Amino acid sequence: MSSIKLENISKYVCKNVNLEIFDKELLVLLGPNGAGKSTLLNVIAGLIDYEGSVFFDNKPVDRLPANKRRIGY
């Protein structure tokens, strides 16, 4: 994932997030309320609009239907 930028009302929720997760890896997102954990997961799942790029298996996620993204939370 590269340079995802999200805006939530009048403040940035996530800015310049870069993340690479390999097959069979486990990722834990920790942080206080309002830190952007759920927002980041919603971006990956394609549930909200964003600026930047998200890739699954080197394919842009926005070109994959939600049911093909293999994401759940």
Summarize pLDDT for 16-46 with one digit per residue, the tens: 788 888 878 888 889 999 888 888 888 878 7
Write down the CATH number for the domain with range 2-68: 3.40.50.300
pLDDT at 9: 46
CB neighbours of residue 54 within 10 Å: 21
Better-predicted residue by pLDDT, 6 or 33: 33
Which residues touch 57 (CB under 8 Å, ≥6 apart)? none
Q: 72 in helix, strand or coil?
A: coil
> Model pTM?
0.71
Asked if residue 6 has pLDDT above 70, the reply is: no
